[in-house]
Structure 1
Amino acid sequence: MTAEDTTFGESVRAVRAGEFGADEAADRLIDRMTDGELLGLLDGDSPRRLLPLIPILLSRRPFVAGAVPRLGVPGIRFSDGGRGVVIGASTAFPVTIARAATWDPALEERVGLAIGLETRARGANYSASVCVNLLRHPAWGRAQECYGEDPVLTGRMGSALTRGVRVHAMACVKHFALNSMENERFEVDVRVDEHALHEVYLPHFKAVVDAGADSVMSAYNRVRGEYMDVNRALLTDVLRHEWGFSGFVTSDWVFGTHDAVASLHAGMDVEMPLRLLRARDLPAALRTGDVARATVLQSAHRILRTSVLHAATREVATPSAALIASPSHRALAHQVAAESIVLLKNETVGAARLLPLDPGIRHLAVIGRLATRANLGDHGSSRVRPPSTVSPLQGLREALPRMRITTNSGRNARVAAAVAAAAETAIIVVGMDHHDEGESVVTGGVDVGVLGRSLGSGLLRRPLIGLAHVVSRFVRGGDRSSLDLRPSDVRLIRAVTAANPRTVVVLIGGSAILTEAWRDRVPALLVAWYGGMEGGRALASVLTGSAEPGGRLPFVLPTDAAHLPAFDSAAKSVVYDDAWGQRRLDGEGHAPAFPFGFGLGYTTIEHRLLSHRFDDTGGSADVLVTNTGDREGSTVVQVYAADLSLDLPVAQLLGFQKTTLQPHTPAVVTVTLDAGPTLQRDPATRRWSPRPGEWALLAAQHSPSSWAHARPLRQTAGTDAESG
């Protein structure tokens, strides 16, 4: 029997043929279901005894929720996948924040297409790959899984990933909402006013919903005193009523459901990934009327409608497993890694800038504990296990087969300095790994009451503690305790740069790393992130000049951690306002080490704003961009607005466009502008209107420090703003 011979398969065929819609298909399936099958749609299918095995099973097979074999309903077949599919050996792309540094939504859509394809080839149909939580503070352990600090950049990149994933798999966006710290993610209560909530922390979620996200995953944390799975104000009033979201909501795993009935009433449709609270409580609640049948049917309809619609509109042919980590996907991983690398410094040493490496050098020293490791990032739920990896050292040896390359681990700074002194150029690879940052570990001391008092204190306490011990074998990390490098890395940089003035420092990590203690000693500095399975080759291509460093910072790099919001990884309650990152530095008058959007290339590029059109729905800006150098190069044209009536204007990114130019070549680049950052929402009417002030527009290559050449933002209807 084929899928098309089953009831679900026939529904898919009929919807694909236009005989009836997905809503009717869902209702027809519901009419065939028993109460037990309907309730089975609302949680995971695996028994709770598998709880301690989740970290192992997650990498081996999809987790299924809501399958109804009698009717051929396949259920939600879950795979994680922010940097690639976590099941089996799959393509490991650079982490999300590295891809944010490309500032290239078209490239990100290609990554989404590859992730969706590999997701389906692994037997899954649902990918929780789209993480759009804002980077409120770079100490957040899972910063590497987000797109940085800006709502517009995050919204556009997350939307692009969503569009790509949905070609083959249902796309889930997470973690809704205000999940930006790790160690206390299960309990922290986030307090936020209406302005910051709707104008800062939610617009990028709405952008991804508008891009077609099939599903939303609710966060662990509380918002305004309510856990997100029971937060009707956000799950129903905002997500469904205000935004019109018609897909389904799943819980974050195990600890993300606090009340079987209340969460269903609030709008959380599926408890993931096992049969836990809902399997125990919902049958009796339905019999006694504590939960209305209409409420169960509402969630069932959302799940089935979305599943049928996805199956009817996705690519029909099941992808071959041969496409997983295929040459084309490896090439894409290489391209993304190269375009993500951010060049922060490149000074002249002798007759020329230090990078790209002089092809005439004969002896290179590669130093540092991370030089010989692929270092793909966090070992938590987003971990991808590729069939092969390339370290920075291996990448350089492949790119420079005739060059003498000496290496040193850097554990002894004096020995490393001697190795560097004997070489013509030294490259130091330092930074973070999964021990320093990542998804937090659930420990035996966790308040297991997050699963409900009776389960936490009784039947599930031992499995939960067992889960914690199993997870702790695979996962370390959590929130960072410092934004600085390890002291041993700083000592190494100082020793090597003193021994060899031709030293390049490569930083590996998932967010901001402060550089003030050593930056002035270093002539060349790059951020290479967690670069994925091809990261070593991509880094070598940038260092040797066969590729250009195409990345731009997706966050500000301050000179002092005190210039950022306070961050307490043990806080049970936090306040989120609208001042963080570059915005906070602007508003308080602090100059950054490197501003948001900053990055150098191997050529020189000039730009000039020609004209713009803008109203409350958005607009566009035409910018003349000229490559004034002698080699091909790229830039990211960034357009910002600010209220100049303020003593210290705060830059708001409205739009951006990456472009590549041949030497001595001009081009006019059109940048699409988002009106959102210039608007305010009335909480009473839910209507949006322009923020008051003297708003002006500026085209730049990073967040501006001066508004001297800005132009008025809003013009008389039907006219353009011209720049001379």
Structure 2
Amino acid sequence: MPSDSHWRESPAHAMDIDAIVTELTLEEKIAMMSGSGFYRIHTESKKWGAKPYPAGAANERLGIEGFKFSDGPRGVIVGHSTCFPCSMARGATFDRDLEWRVGEVMAIEARAQGVNLLGQVCVNLLRHPAWGRAQETYGEDSYHLGEMGAALSSGTQHHNVISTVKHFALNSLENTRFELDVRVSERTLREVYLPHFRKIIEAGCLSVMSAYNKINGTYCGQNAYLLTDILRREWGFEGFVHSDWVLGVYSPHGAEAGLDIENPEPAWYGEKLLKAVREGAIDEAVVNQAVRRMLQTLKVIEETADPRESYPASLVACDVHTGLACEVAEKSAVLLKNTGTLPLDRTTIQNLGVFGRLANFENTGDRGSSRVSPPYIVTPLEGLTACLGSEQVTFAGDESAPQVAGLASRSFDAAIVVVGYTAAEEGEFIPQDINLGQDDIPESLAAILDGARGRNDSPAIGGDRTSLSLPADQIDLICNIARENPQTIVVIVAGSAVMVEEWIDDVPAALQTFYAGMEGGAALARLLFGDVSPSGRLPFSVVRDATDYPLFDGTAITLDYGYWHGYALLQRQDREPRFPFGYGLTYSTFAYSDLRSQRVLDGGLEAFVTVVNTGNRRAIDTPQLYIGWPGKAAERPRLSLRGFDRVELGPGESRQVRFRVEPRDLAWYDPEASTWKIESGSHKIVIARSANDPENLCVEVEFEEETCLGR
């Protein structure tokens, strides 16, 4: 494997940046504004991300290696890296510290494989669960996205790997992402779709990837309002912006708008940008500024001391890292329902039946640009077999013969039914004329593809989901088994919300594990048998009726993104979800008491609450702080998440939890005044287990006068 020493020895830190810019010719500077070698590498490997991609800033004459890029929402896609649970699963942990550790491991494995630029922080807001790439983000709430994304970015950059936050911005529809024009009001843009990006930038993230889509008629990759006015002038971002890969740039004037690098190869920069500068259509100062941003970023990571002495290849997918992947899988699973069936008892479960074709399917998520190729994957069947032994675990049928499987389930002490989706039903949409390596599809996935969406004659995979429910044959399988076996446990594998109305009332237990990574099967066994208690919380709302979600049109070329979505929309419409945002059961019970809250000197507030484990098992609780707004100056959500924590307690133990809410997280954006304002009036401080927790605690804090915070 390549080492990381080449870019650590770059001369960018040894020479004055202005001197480098003066030394470079115009042709060299423009060459630094594009990736190079992508098509050659991709043709040779026939697989996306087989090697780090040169992604700009390189100059051979001066010995500047530049950026070496890898995607990374689930792990480093180069080589055989650790495959973590997908981002949505990690969002379900509500655990900043855990996500920081994930970012650290990604950076270590990136360094060990010659990568210094990692595209791992995807925080496009989940507006609707049909979005094909929902699995790559953390959930539906902007505050939650910002907290988790900042943790991942900071953990990565701790090891001097440049973190990229993407896709900037409003990129949450897959199939028409190259053409879609998102129409959005200024207030909605500022309050709903940008705050999480700002939080990550202010946490120190060094690079931004633009989105494919348009916003209010202008492509994101050449949107000066987005890339210059907001990102740089208002937020103070000093790093560089690079395009999404292939078709992310539509004009050399993207450079004037603030797009520093075109990836993966120069289609509009290169000769076209050179011509525009020579003819005076674009000022050379634009080029110089882009090069300075790149060199300054290289200088930062080269001059900052590493926390490790070295980054050998032996660290890639080492035991410590795969152990972390297992821990994340354990902490991300959400227990949706349990009427006493779980946890299973090893002393009474002598004969366990496992059902569903996904039970022994290596299913870590989509097979697009975020695909990771770990050295092994533990399937649910393998994990359960390793836990109990082959004599006690039997794969007893799948959805091809649901009635037969139902009858077979009678003979088992308990039945585990694994259902959900694969890369065939959701993920990055890969048309048949684009090769990301999907042609090495295993037979198990090929069989699923043959029956999915009528695509028998096309290798295209992924895209936006066409249904929010499970496939009909899986529902049939669940119902047949639940009818025959009273100890039926459903395990859902999916990237976002799955509607469950057709079967949830018929089963005693259900668990959503998302795409649980390379150790998912091992984690599942430990969860089902009570070695650890489930502690994940839903980072999205699961509705009873699909019309409760905002309008979603996977064929749309123009869409209006309104202010309301997720739990805020449901509360506004007085619609009760099946499972609310923030919801998740454990094997214990918890109680809250002694809530108090107060203003602090900088204009924010703090709150304190005592959490006690009232059950008989050690478990983790996730208290959440929501704020109810006065809503007089402008209509606002009934409740908005503004804090969360994880508290692990043994039976009878208690702990006081402190929440801190920053002033900007209290404010709304006034588009007429172009400023953020904190309303006067009474603010409700709510501590709850979910956005719809009827047993919440509430106090009120008075804000005596309106406060303007500026832009």
Whichever residue aligns with residue 109 of structure 1, its letter is: W
Of the three residues 577, 599, 604, the one matched with 1:618 is: 604
Alignment match of 1:481 (pick from 466, 476, 499): 466
SS in 1 for 2:644: strand
1:97 maps onto 2:88 in alignment: yes
Distance 1:628 1:468, change over 3 A: closer
Cα distance change of structure 1 residues 389 and 652 upon mapping to structure 2, 3 Å threshold: same
- Name the SS of the counterpart of 1:129 in structure 2: strand
- 2:166 aligned to 166, 171, 174, which one? 174
Deviation at 1:442, TM superposition (A): 3.8
Q: Distance in 1 between matches of 2:513 and 2:4?
A: 45
For residues 440 and 295 of structure 2, the distance between their equivalents in structure 1, rounded to whole angstroms, comes to 33
Assess, with a 3 A threshold, how the Cα gap between structure 1 residues 645 and 278 changes in structure 2: closer, same or farther: closer
Tell me the CA shift for residue 673 of structure 1.
2.3
Q: Structure 1 residues 62-71 or 124-133, which shifts more?
A: 62-71
Supply the AA of the counterpart residue of 1:28.
A
**Residue in 2 that maps onto 1:65:** 56
1:578 and 1:609 map into 2 onto residues whose CA distance is 34
1:298 corresponds to: 289
Establish whether residue 639 from structure 1 lines up as the match of residue 625 from structure 2.
Answer: yes
Q: Which residue of 1 aligns with 2:452?
A: none
In the alignment, the residues of structure 2 paired with residue 199 and residue 486 of structure 1 have an alpha-carbon distance, to the nearest angstrom, of 36
Q: 1:310 to 1:385 in 2, by over 3 A?
A: same
Compared CA separation, residues 489 and 83, structure 1 to 2 (3 A):
same
Measured at CA, do residues 51 and 94 of structure 1 come closer, stay the same or move farther in structure 2, by a change above 3 Å?
Answer: closer
**Of 137, 143, 167, the match for 2:134:** 143
- The alpha carbon displacement at 1:639 in A equals 0.6
Equivalent residue in structure 2 for 1:653, among 638, 641, 644: 641
Residue 454 of structure 2 aligns with which residue?
Answer: none
Deviation, structure 1 residue 361: 1.8
* Cα offset, 1:375, TM superposition: 0.5
In structure 2, the residue matched to 1:428 is 417
Residues 375-394 of structure 1: per-residue CA shift (max 9 Å, x gap): 00010000000001100011
AA partner of residue 236 (structure 1): T
Deviations 1:99-155 (A, max 9, x none): 000000000000000001111111110000000110000000000000100011110
> Which position in structure 2 is the counterpart of 1:437?
426
Report % sequence identity.
40
Q: Which residue is 1:600 aligned to? A: 585
Q: Which residue of 2 aligns with 1:457?
A: none
Once structures 1 and 2 are overlaid, which stretch shifts more, 337-346 or 647-656? 647-656
Report whether the alignment pairs 1:308 with 2:299.
yes
SS of the aligned residue for 2:526 comes to: helix
Residue of structure 1 equivalent to 2:455 = none
Question: Measured at CA, do residues 558 and 466 of structure 1 come closer, stay the same or move farther in structure 2, by a change above 3 Å?
Answer: closer
1:276-330 Cα distance to aligned partner (Å, 9 max, x none): 2211202222211111111110111011111111121151744111000000001
Query: What residue number does 1:201 align with?
Result: 193
Deviation, structure 1 residue 374: 2.6
Aligned twin of 2:372: 384
Q: How far did 1:94 drift?
A: 0.3
Structure 2: unaligned runs, 5 residues or longer: 442-457, 706-711
Which of residues 24, 29, 35 is equivalent to 1:38?
29
**How far apart, CA to CA, are the structure 1 residues paired with 2:5 and 2:156?**
24
- Cα deviation, 1:171-202, whole Å, max 9, x if unaligned, reads 00000000011001001000111111001100
How far did 1:706 drift?
A: 4.8
Gap change, CA 1:532 and 1:475, over 3 Å in 2: farther
1:249 touches 1:267 (CA, 8 Å); kept in 2?
A: yes
Shift of 1:684: 5.0
1:474 positional shift: 7.7
State the partner residue of 1:211.
203
Question: Do the aligned partners of residues 50 and 638 (structure 1) sit closer, same or farther apart at CA in structure 2, a change above 3 Å counting?
Answer: same
Give the superposition deviation at 1:577.
Answer: 1.3
- Contact 1:91–1:325, Cα closer than 8 Å, also in 2: yes
The one-letter code of the counterpart of 2:606 is: S
1:542 maps onto 2:527 in alignment: yes
Aligned 8 A contact 2:534 2:586 in 1: yes
Structure 1 position 35, deviation (Å): 1.7
Task: Rate the CA distance shift 1:359–1:501 in 2: closer, same or farther, 3 A.
Answer: same
- Give the letter for the 1:573 counterpart: T
Counterparts of 1:610 and 1:531, CA distance in 2: 35
The CA deviation string for residues 441-487 of structure 1, in whole angstroms up to 9 with x for no partner, is 2455xxxxxxxxxxxxxxxxxxxx78899799986110000100000
* Aligned length, in residue pairs: 681
Q: 1:155 to 1:55 in 2, by over 3 A?
A: farther
SS in 2 for 1:71: coil
CA contact (8 A) 2:38 2:53 kept: no
Distance 1:675 1:701, change over 3 A: farther
The one-letter amino acid of 2:667's match is L
Match of 2:227 among 232, 235, 241: 235
Measured in 2, the distance between the counterparts of 1:162 and 1:359 equals 44
Task: Go from structure 1 to structure 2 and tell me whether the alpha carbon gap of 1:467 and 1:657 turns closer, same or farther (over 3 Å shift).
Answer: closer
> Per the alignment, in what secondary structure is the counterpart of residue 510 of structure 1?
coil
Residue by residue over 1:158-178, the C-alpha shift from the partner in whole angstroms, topping out at 9 and shown as x without a partner, is 000000111231000000000
Counterpart position of 2:709: none
SS in 2 for 1:582: helix
The alignment status of 1:555 with 2:547, answered yes or no, reads no
What does 1:564-575 correspond to in 2, within 5 Å? 564-575=549-560
TM (norm. structure 2) is 0.91
For 2:674, what is the secondary structure of its paired residue?
Answer: coil
Whole-Å separation in 2 of the counterparts to 1:588 and 1:53: 54
Structure 1 residue 641, shift from structure 2 partner: 1.0
Q: In the alignment, which of 266, 270, 277 is matched to residue 275 of structure 1?
A: 266
Distance 1:125 1:483, change over 3 A: same
Query: What pairs up with 1:3-42 in 2 under 5 angstroms?
Result: 9-12=10-13, 25-42=16-33
* Deviation (angstroms), 1:511: 0.2
Deviation at 1:686, TM superposition (A): 3.5
Q: Counterpart in 1 of 2:356?
A: 368
| Structure 1 residues without counterparts, runs of 5 or longer | 15-23, 445-464, 718-724
Instruction: State the Cα deviation string for residues 562-589 of structure 1 (Å, max 9, x = none).
Output: 1000100000011111211111110000
- Which of 479, 499, 502 is the equivalent residue of 1:514? 499
Give the residue type in structure 2 aligned to 1:41: M
Against the structure 1 CA distance between its residues 52 and 684, is the aligned structure 2 distance closer, same or farther, given a 3 Å change threshold? farther
Q: How many Å separate the matches in 2 of 1:672 and 1:25?
A: 41
Alpha-carbon distance in structure 2 between the residues aligned to 1:692 and 1:487: 52
Post-superposition offset of 1:529: 0.6
Pair 1:384–1:635, CA change in 2 (3 A):
same
SS at match of 2:692: coil
User: Is 1:325 the counterpart of 2:311 in the alignment?
Assistant: no
1:3 CA drift (Å): 11
Stretch moving more, 469-478 or 680-689: 469-478
Partner of 1:117: 108
Matched, 1:224 2:216: yes
Cα distance in structure 2, aligned partners of 1:311 and 1:651: 44
Query: What is the distance in 1 between the residues matched to 2:636 and 2:284?
Result: 56
Q: Aligned-pair distance for 1:419?
A: 1.9
TM-score (norm 1): 0.90
Are 1:265 and 2:256 counterparts? Answer: yes
Q: Deviations over 1:478-502 (max 9, x none)?
A: 0000100000000000000001011
Q: What SS does structure 2 have at the residue aligned with 1:484?
A: coil
- In the TM superposition, what whole-angstrom CA distance separates every residue of 1:258-290 from its partner, at most 9, and x where no partner exists? 001x10010000000113221120222221111
Partner residue in 2 for 1:456 = none
Query: Structure 1 pair 693/197, CA: closer, same or farther in 2 (3 Å)?
Result: farther
Change in CA separation of 1:155 and 1:471 when aligned onto 2, cut-off 3 Å: farther
Cα RMSD (Å): 2.5
CA distance in 2, matches of 1:423, 1:675: 56
